[in-house]
Amino acid sequence: MQKFFFEIRSRGFFLLVIAFLIITWLVYAEVTEQFDKSSMLYFQSAAGNTSLDHSMWILTEIGGIIPIMIFCFVMFVWRKTRRMGLILLLAVLVGTVASGYLKDYVVERPRPDLEYLGSELPIELESDTTVLGGKGSFPSGHVARASALAFVLGYALSERFPRGWVLLWIFPGCMALSRIYLLQHYPMDVIGGILFGIIIAGILASKLKLPQYLNKSET
């Protein structure tokens, strides 16, 4: 199902890159500004349920670079998943730095400037990428990491569980929702993060020959 994305010269992968570039241009040119800001006003007014607010906070904290890196490192240490673990480690590192560069030095879109009106959170929210300043908004680093993780794991499980791999996309979907709900990113930021995470994971998986490795391990 996802295999054609690993063939970086395929039409599917090309269209994915084009879609990301188009969205990046739309955001840079402020074409989506009205839609994004209207959406954020809705989510600002929707906050206030303590259970939901804290659930969103937990989700967004799980998507931070440290928890994701720990998960990837565990996969890397385990011999049976070492190749996937290496790809995920690289995807997280490259995706985090690259998305941070795009946010702060290319697109330069400010983060939503809205006051969070929900319940008091246990710990103050932090930006995606503190290494590069983390002041930019597009694309979302949290969502890019979650998408890369779901993409690689989903592909690895797709042969054994033809439909079960779809469940892995609940994670980036919930991550995207949490980033918007907590007023950390605009809707177009998380859409860009999803596409960017898949692109990074696809390139690394192709270069490190993940499909061939998985096919070999099944024989």
Please check whether residue 140 lies inside any domain of the structure: yes
Spatial neighbors of 163 by CB under 8 A, at least 6 apart, are none
Q: Which domain holds residue 46?
A: 3-112+134-218
Please check whether residue 121 lies inside any domain of the structure: no
Please check whether residue 72 lies inside any domain of the structure: yes
Q: How many domains in the chain? A: 1
- H-run or E-run covering 20: helix 11-28
Please check whether residue 86 lies inside any domain of the structure: yes
What is the predicted pLDDT for the residue at 217? 54
For the chain, give the percent of residues with pLDDT over 70: 82
Please check whether residue 125 lies inside any domain of the structure: no
What is the predicted pLDDT for the residue at 99? 87
Q: In this predicted model, what pLDDT tens digit does every residue of 5-17 receive, in sequence order?
A: 556 667 778 888 9
78: domain CATH number?
1.20.144
Please check whether residue 207 lies inside any domain of the structure: yes
SS (H, E, C) 23-52: HHHHHHCCCCHHHHHHHHHHHHHHCCCHHH
Q: In this predicted model, what pLDDT tens digit does every residue of 20-69 receive, in sequence order?
A: 999 999 999 999 999 999 999 888 888 878 888 888 888 888 888 888 88
C-alpha distances in angstroms, 100 versus 81, 93, 132, 181? 28, 11, 6, 21
